[in-house]
Amino acid sequence: NAEAFAQTVDTEGGKGYYSHLITNKNNPIVAEAKAMGGDKYTIKNAANLTFAFNDPNSTSGFLVPSYYIFAQNGVDPKKIFKRLVFSGSHEATALAIANNQVDVATNNNESLDRLQQTNPKARANIETIWTSTLIPSDPIAYRKDLPEDLKQKIRNFFYNFKDPAVLKPHGWSGFDQANDKTWNPIRELDIAKQILELEKKENLSAEEKQKLEQLRQQLQAVKSS
């Protein structure tokens, strides 16, 4: 029962961010990982690597890398690594890399930029080895059942809010108009990942086959909306 009406715009005018794979800059894998592509290197050498996701509910720290790196290559990250952990927050994952506690981890450019401000020494120890496609920036939403005149007042407030004293600490320059469809790429990621996970299973049950067909229909609906 939520309705998205705006999205954040960063100080450079961007309306999105990127998921990353990161490693310690002094880790011996850096040169080969960057030359080969961090995603390909990570899969190929997973049995010898320790790996950290952020929270399972994180878009950049779990969903995006899970789909683009693992699901599209038909591998299950829970089965291929020497050790797999969930660090919780982006900061915790970044610090785990900076302190050489894991070999490779997920993160995003916004969190790494914040780390540059709060802990530049730790940020200096981190090397990016993979970058995703653009992820739509955060939505601002209100309840669908609010009166239309109140919705209009809220929209006007956000679309015209430009106070740098409030916005700059968040890395924002303002808010741009958006609607629910702006985040369809995230829906596609989520549905496609579920489809791939079912497709790689053997001997699907009748219930799983029905679920697979429903997911395919959902994906088509999102793409055509």
In the chain, the N- to C-terminal Cα span, in Å, equals 19
Residue 148's φ and ψ, nearest 5 degrees, are -60, -35
When the pLDDT of each residue in the chain is averaged and rounded to a whole number, the result is 94
Q: Rounded to an integer, what is the distance from CA 131 to the centroid of its chain?
A: 11
pLDDT at 73 over 90: no
Give the three-class secondary structure for 50.
strand
**pLDDT for the residue 57:** 86
pLDDT tier at 224, thresholds 50, 70, 90: confident
pLDDT tier at 35, thresholds 50, 70, 90: very high
Q: What is the largest CA-CA distance in the chain?
A: 59
pLDDT at 196 over 90: no
Model pTM? Answer: 0.78
Average pLDDT over residues 43-60: 94
